[in-house]
Structure 1
Amino acid sequence: MSIRATRTGIVLRPDPTRVLFRPFDLGNTMRTLKIIARVNAMTEGEVAQKLIEVVREFGSRHHKLERYLLNRFDQMRPHLLTDEVLSPERMLLLGAYFTMEYSLESAALFNPSMVWHPDQSNVPPGFKRFILSLRATGEGHISSISFRMGYIDQDSKIILRKPSRYVTSPDIMPNPIFYRGSFERKLYELRLSNSITEKMMFGLGEEFTQQELEATVKRITSQYRYNAEYETIAGGILALARSNYELHFDNDESLDERCIFPTSPNETNGIEDARFVQFTDDNGEVTYYATYTAYNGRVTFPQLLATTDFIHFRISTLNGAEVQNKGMALFPRKINGRYAMLSRQDGENIYLMYSDDLYFWQAKELIVKPTYHWEYVQLGNCGSPIETESGWLVLTHGVGAMRKYSIGAVLLDLEDPSKVIGRLKEPLLSPDENEREGYVPNVVYSCGGLIHHDNLIIPYAMADYASSFAVVNVPDLLQVLTGAGKAEEVAVGISG
């Protein structure tokens, strides 16, 4: 018996009009000084007139334009040659010359993940509010996390809210406190633990701030100037610290205005494929986690994002011998008292991992290998496992001939997810003629779906360009996975 998902016909395409502020950094001190000198040579009247033009042209495209321009001026202040007090207008204009617009989704809007919204107040009866995260890709193929919001009604019809015209980056805050034991353990995992590290960590307490760490690292490296080994260790220590940070959005910004743009050294070339999951701890506390891939242009790093309200986010590095490759997906609760994660360390098989510490993963177990023709090249998850009465429902992606991506499903035992109860021999979803053309042809891909009533909602990417939704009836799907179905082919779901 085979089963197919039903497409809804909804398509989310990238919108190049959604732009946000980014620093315009020339990377050249002499050119920077020349620009500052030219602006400072303008009369106050010329400054005022030019600032009016900037505000008139760009003010309606952004929230809080003046606040950003002043912040940008403060970042450029060290380049000023004197301590002369400048007029507010000149400070704003200088900030504008070192600011640019960035169209975060001009190239693609894909690889979606769905979770239920933490606020379900004022929702019509039978409706449920959801959050959709997407990988937005713009100039330079830099990826960030974008959000949309919508509802699913009593008939499992998907209703997406039109996004705001505005996009805003959050305030970025260093991790307020580092714990020495955990930090040193991460350094050890990164092979940055030696006598030089001990010197750089000497004098720090059991708890310390990033500023305290930077001060002691600077002091030690200044004593061993031009020593390449000391500079390498110092760079690694500071990169680790700067890869653990926090983000905060203003409460008055709607969810779809919030954008998580690459910030840390690990992320300079993108934040990719966030797999969000609503995690419920043993004490009943709910946290939304997202495993994602940080990319610095050369190497990928699995990282973890955490939030309870989608306003404040905490970003942390993942460490351990088995934190490798892409596609890590956290289970929505602990299993037998331990955290559990799906992964794909070798690029082609699905593994199961357990850990007592959410941030350290040391062991793995192979549970699913490519078996069917549509997954011979590669197999991986399409988001976090979904708990059902019959077992853990895992959406998978398989890669077959001509590098064609399809979406399938696997069912794992609730108490022992290393046991595979069933898997689909044929895909739930493969690219049709309308989905084959895009940035990467012949790809359908998801980072996580939801069950609403008896329907599995699958948000999915179309050729790494746009996104859509498909639906499949859960009882019918579980019937096939458990081997209780009939021999005939079934096509189920809704269309919209």
Structure 2
Amino acid sequence: MSIKAIRTGIVLRPDPTRVLFRAFELGSTTRTLKIIARVGGMTDEEAAQKLDEVIREFGGRHYKLERFLLQRFEQVKTHLLTDEPLTTERKLLLGAYFTMEYSLESAALFNPSMIWHPDQTNVPPGYKRFILSLRATGEGHVSSISFRMGYIDEAGKIILRKPSRYVTSPEIVPNHRFNRAQFLRKLYELRLENSIQEKMMTGLEDEFSLPELEAQIKRVLAQYRYNAEYETIASGLLALAKSNYEIHFEDDQSLDERCIFPTSPNETNGIEDARFVQFTDENGEITFYATYTAYNGRVTFPQLLETKDFTNFNVSTLNGAEVSNKGMALFPRKINGKYAMISRQDGENIYLMYSDDLYFWQMKELLLKPTYHWEYVQLGNCGSPIETEAGWLVLSHGVGPMRKYAIGAFLLDLNDPSKVIGRTTEPILSPDENEREGYVPNVVYSCGGLINGNELIIPYAMADYASSFATVNVAELLAELTGQNRSKIEDVAVQEAVTVK
């Protein structure tokens, strides 16, 4: 018997009206100066009239627009030719000329990951609140992380909450502190640890900030002007520092108003396919992690998000000999005292990784090879493993003829995940005729589901364009994976991947 997922019929399509403000960069000092001069030539009456027009047209579309316009003014004011003070109205208008709207999901809203919301207060009896993270793609095919919220009612029905029309990217925390020992270890992994780097970090404390590092590098470069090797090392140091950072959202912003937009040098072309998981440490402390792919237009970099409240996030690079390719997915707890990860370094097979350090991964072991017709091209995970009493349940994707993506599952031993208990010989979800057409045809894909009662809920993308949900009976799926009769395991208490407060 082959288990098949049941579609819910819910379709979450990209919404082009969800826009955020971004810096409008011209890339030309001459053009910037010309725009400033033209605005400076406006009379006070003309400037006030134009600013009123801007606020009327765009103020209702954004959260705290005027604050952003003043920030943009501060970023371009170095181009002003005099120190003559400007009125607040004139500053706002100048900021508006160097600001643009960006429709973050105008092209696609796909590759969802689903977790229980950490706050279950004020939820109707029998309901559970969840968070859905999605890959939002807009102009220039730049991807970011968008959020939706919803509920599952007592009957298992999925109810998506209508999102706010506002959406805002976070502020970068200005005084983020780096741990010197960890930073040096990352430099070593990147082969940037040498005598030049030592000079550039001389005098920095055990914890230091980006401005402190920049100041020290500036002092060293002043002594070795026009030295290409010094410039290269300096660029590498700063790129690493800027790729490990903190972000903060306003406390009064709804989660669906928050967008994690590319920030670091590794992310210039997008943040892709976040796989969120609720991780419980050995002391019971809960942290939400998401492995994701940073893309700079040439190379992909596996990276890590971590948060406890979805308001403050740490962003870190992942390092080590085996950090490569896409699709790393963290187990929701340590196994035998070590962090564990499902991965795919070679673009074809599924591997298992262990590490004593969450940020460094040095070894891997082969776990699964493409075996069945629907996965002959490649295998990969579809999110973090889900703990059940029968074993670690992992959603997988396989690619077959005509580059058709389908979703399956496999089961790993709880104490030794290198032991494969079973795997589906046929897909549990394949694109149907209503899901084939989109940006990338013939693809269904997920970045992580969860178990509710005796149902596995699979949020999935359709043709890299829109998203939906499907469900699978857990008892039936585990029976197929273990080779047992359903009646023998139907009463097994399936442990959810997260603990609902």
TM-score bracket for the superposition, by shorter chain length = over 0.9
Task: Name the counterpart of 2:169.
Answer: 169
Q: Structure 1 unaligned runs (5+)?
A: 487-496
Amino acid at match of 2:354: Y
Counterparts in 2 of 1:192 and 1:64: CA distance versus 1, 3 Å? same
* Deviation (angstroms), 1:174: 4.4
Kindly provide the CA deviation profile for residues 330-363 of structure 1, in whole angstroms up to 9, marking residues without a partner as x: 0000001110001000001111111111000000
Task: Name the counterpart of 1:283.
Answer: 283
* Deviation (angstroms), 1:175: 6.0
* Deviation (angstroms), 1:255: 0.7
Per the alignment, in what secondary structure is the counterpart of residue 402 of structure 2? Answer: helix
Amino acid at match of 1:35: I
Task: Name the counterpart of 1:47.
Answer: 47
- Write out aligned runs for 1:217-366 (5 A): 217-366=217-366
> Which contiguous aligned blocks of 4+ residues in structure 1 show a shift greater than 2 angstroms?
none
**Is 1:115 aligned to 2:115, yes or no?**
yes
Amino acid at match of 2:258: R
Give the Cα separation in 2 of the matches to 1:142 and 1:472. Answer: 33
Amino acid at match of 2:33: L
Task: Name the counterpart of 1:490.
Answer: none
Q: Answer whether contact 1:331 1:341 (CA < 8 A) is retained.
A: yes
- Write out aligned runs for 1:355-394 (5 A): 355-394=355-394
Give the Cα separation in 1 of the matches to 2:228 and 2:398. Answer: 44
Give the Cα separation in 2 of the matches to 1:377 and 1:79. Answer: 54
Q: Answer whether contact 1:116 1:130 (CA < 8 A) is retained.
A: yes
Q: Answer whether contact 1:175 1:244 (CA < 8 A) is retained.
A: no
* Deviation (angstroms), 1:251: 1.1
* Deviation (angstroms), 1:219: 1.2
Give the Cα separation in 1 of the matches to 2:360 and 2:6. Answer: 39
Q: Answer whether contact 1:395 1:409 (CA < 8 A) is retained.
A: yes
Per the alignment, in what secondary structure is the counterpart of residue 167 of structure 2? Answer: coil
Task: Name the counterpart of 2:205.
Answer: 205
* Deviation (angstroms), 1:222: 2.1
Kindly provide the CA deviation profile for residues 410-451 of structure 1, in whole angstroms up to 9, marking residues without a partner as x: 000000000000000000000000000000000000000000
Kindly provide the CA deviation profile for residues 365-390 of structure 1, in whole angstroms up to 9, marking residues without a partner as x: 11111000000000000000000000
- Write out aligned runs for 1:447-486 (5 A): 447-485=447-485
Give the Cα separation in 2 of the matches to 1:127 and 1:304. Answer: 30
Task: Name the counterpart of 2:436.
Answer: 436
Per the alignment, in what secondary structure is the counterpart of residue 414 of structure 2? Answer: coil
**Is 1:216 aligned to 2:216, yes or no?**
yes
Give the Cα separation in 2 of the matches to 1:248 and 1:276. Answer: 18
Task: Name the counterpart of 1:421.
Answer: 421
Q: Answer whether contact 1:112 1:133 (CA < 8 A) is retained.
A: yes
Kindly provide the CA deviation profile for residues 257-282 of structure 1, in whole angstroms up to 9, marking residues without a partner as x: 00000000000000000000000001
Aligned residues: 486
Give the Cα separation in 2 of the matches to 1:188 and 1:381. Answer: 30
Give the Cα separation in 2 of the matches to 1:342 and 1:229. Answer: 38
Give the Cα separation in 1 of the matches to 2:225 and 2:293. Answer: 34
Per the alignment, in what secondary structure is the counterpart of residue 173 of structure 2? Answer: strand
**Is 1:407 aligned to 2:407, yes or no?**
yes
Task: Name the counterpart of 2:8.
Answer: 8
Kindly provide the CA deviation profile for residues 452-490 of structure 1, in whole angstroms up to 9, marking residues without a partner as x: 00000000000000000000000000000001148xxxx
* Deviation (angstroms), 1:211: 1.0
Give the CA RMSD over aligned residues.
0.8
Give the Cα separation in 1 of the matches to 2:210 and 2:171. Answer: 17
Amino acid at match of 1:123: V
Kindly provide the CA deviation profile for residues 3-53 of structure 1, in whole angstroms up to 9, marking residues without a partner as x: 000000000000000000000000101100110011011111111000000
Amino acid at match of 2:402: M
Task: Name the counterpart of 1:491.
Answer: none
Amino acid at match of 2:56: R
Amino acid at match of 1:41: G
Between 1 and 2, higher relative CO (CA 8 Å, sep ≥ 6) is seen in 1
Give the Cα separation in 2 of the matches to 1:431 and 1:188. Answer: 44
TM-score relative to the length of structure 1: 0.97
Task: Name the counterpart of 2:85.
Answer: 85
Amino acid at match of 1:117: H
Give the Cα separation in 2 of the matches to 1:351 and 1:387. Answer: 18
Kindly provide the CA deviation profile for residues 37-71 of structure 1, in whole angstroms up to 9, marking residues without a partner as x: 11011111111000000001101111111111001
Q: Structure 2 unaligned runs (5+)?
A: 487-501
Amino acid at match of 1:40: G
Per the alignment, in what secondary structure is the counterpart of residue 456 of structure 2? Answer: strand
Give the Cα separation in 2 of the matches to 1:250 and 1:200. Answer: 35
Q: Answer whether contact 1:174 1:242 (CA < 8 A) is retained.
A: no
Per the alignment, in what secondary structure is the counterpart of residue 78 of structure 2? Answer: helix
Amino acid at match of 2:447: C
Aligned sequence identity (%): 80
Give the Cα separation in 2 of the matches to 1:361 and 1:462. Answer: 32
* Deviation (angstroms), 1:156: 1.3
Q: Answer whether contact 1:174 1:244 (CA < 8 A) is retained.
A: no
Give the Cα separation in 1 of the matches to 2:330 and 2:175. Answer: 23
Amino acid at match of 1:91: K
Q: Answer whether contact 1:444 1:463 (CA < 8 A) is retained.
A: yes
Give the Cα separation in 2 of the matches to 1:205 and 1:310. Answer: 30
Per the alignment, in what secondary structure is the counterpart of residue 4 of structure 1? Answer: coil
Give the Cα separation in 1 of the matches to 2:100 and 2:109. Answer: 21
Per the alignment, in what secondary structure is the counterpart of residue 458 of structure 1? Answer: strand
Per the alignment, in what secondary structure is the counterpart of residue 92 of structure 1? Answer: helix
Give the Cα separation in 2 of the matches to 1:155 and 1:481. Answer: 26
Amino acid at match of 2:173: M
